[in-house]
Amino acid sequence: MAKQILPMTAPLAASGPYSGKVAFSNGVRVERGELLFVSGQLAYDDNRNLVGKGDMKAQTRQVLKNVKKVLDWAGATSSDVVKVTVFVKDISKFRDIHDARLEFFHPDHLPASTMVEVAGFVHPDALIEIEAVAVLKA
């Protein structure tokens, strides 16, 4: 089975328990089956700064921008996403999350979805993390 990896290009943190090398990649493209698995994305900008502290909608938009970067790398679009798993600190922000998601996903290609509330993330100010699975065009 041939596959391509989109590696992490920077550590999650400059110091502390999340610094140093990590044992995962941002994306894995598998030749057989043409599936793309997008690792959980946080609201980091290109400089690894968290965007939208305290703002669920802003963080959701940034997370989806990060998912899009992996999709672009693999030659996919949001319409190719078939499943997302969404982890949130405050599930009462459901509407903010879905309003941002509706800006990202085409209404004719909405993915299957699971959303769960969690206690926290690797960054203390993160409010949301999204992972995705996409089917790539043959």
User: Domain with 126 in it: what CATH number?
Assistant: 3.30.1330.40
- 13 within a domain of the structure (yes/no): no
- At 22-72, the pLDDT tens digits run 534 465 555 666 899 999 999 999 999 999 999 999 999 999 999 999 999
**Which pLDDT belongs to residue 23?**
38
**Which pLDDT belongs to residue 111?**
86
Q: Say which amino acid occupies 11.
A: P
Domain count, the chain: 1
Q: pTM of the prediction?
A: 0.82
- 23 within a domain of the structure (yes/no): no
Q: For residues 126 and 118, is the Cβ–Cβ distance under 8 A?
A: no
Closest alpha carbon to 104 in 126, 125, 132, 123: 132
**Which pLDDT belongs to residue 1?**
38
- 15 within a domain of the structure (yes/no): no
**Which pLDDT belongs to residue 24?**
45
